[in-house]
Amino acid sequence: MSAEPKSGLPAHIAIVMDGNGRWAEKRSRPRTMGHQAGLKALRRVVEHCGRKGISELTVFAFSSENWKRPETEVSRLMELFMRTLNKEAAELHKNNIRIRFIGDLNRFQDNLRNRIDRVLALNPSDYRMTLNVAANYGGRWDITHAARLIARDVHEGKIQPDEINETLFSAKLATAGGSEPDLLIRTGGEMRISNFLLWQAAYSELYFSSVLWPDFDGEEIDRAIEAYSRRERRYGAISKTQKEKAS
């Protein structure tokens, strides 16, 4: 079971890791060099979040739209993904970090899916943090897939249509069993969430950083957390100040 985060921290941080390609292009290097640098940034961020007591971290590793990129880049990304699994998984498990994969993994080749299965089988039962890796993931796919699962259950008579509610729907999403992100960060200067956790991020605090992902580090995470700590999360209700004025 994951530990509770320290007071004042977001329990769950989600990150759109954007800017690898632009980071490489600024240095006149191939885009794959940016992805390699991005993996180093991910390692730094995971370690920093672990030290701070963040209990859940979700990263957008490969979107369902990324298949539209040049075939050579996609192939290189898959190679990096496989190598990273081989190299980093044991270290994460050693540090009591549980790994989960969310997304449609069926499109990946058998060797990668088999490696993912082996990584999952080694997950520690006593973990202090969960790292969710969104691979071949898209928010619209997630919602559509959940709706399809519910429709099948209705067709098979397992549930009635009037039993469908937000709790049931959430349980059919790829993130079922986890928490909704408190803080969603996007790096690289773009101000959109790009089809990431559309349902789950309904009430997440958004933080956009101009820093390209390979340059992102613990200090940048701390800046995002500091901005988060200054916000009042109301979930559709009025603020404390507004309540005092109304009373």
Q: Of 46, 58, 33, 52, which is closest to residue 94 (Cα–Cα)?
A: 46
- Reported in sequence order, the residue ranges of 115-229 that DSSP labels E, i.e. its strands, are 129-137, 183-186, 205-208
Q: Are 178 and 129 in contact (CB under 8 A)?
A: no
- Classified as helix, coil or strand, 187 is coil
Is 66 in the active site? Answer: yes
Instruction: Point out the catalytic residue in the list 18, 20, 132, 182.
Output: 18
Is 165 in the active site? Answer: no
Q: Are 116 and 102 in contact (CB under 8 A)?
A: no
Instruction: Point out the catalytic residue in the list 66, 95, 96, 195.
Output: 66
DSSP conformation letters of 2-47: PPPPPTTS-SEEEEE---HHHHHHHTT--HHHHHHHHHHHHHHHHH
Angle value at C-alpha 137, between 151 and 155, nearest 5 degrees = 5
Q: Of 48, 42, 36, which is closest to residue 17 (Cα–Cα)?
A: 42
Which positions are annotated as active-site residues? 18, 66
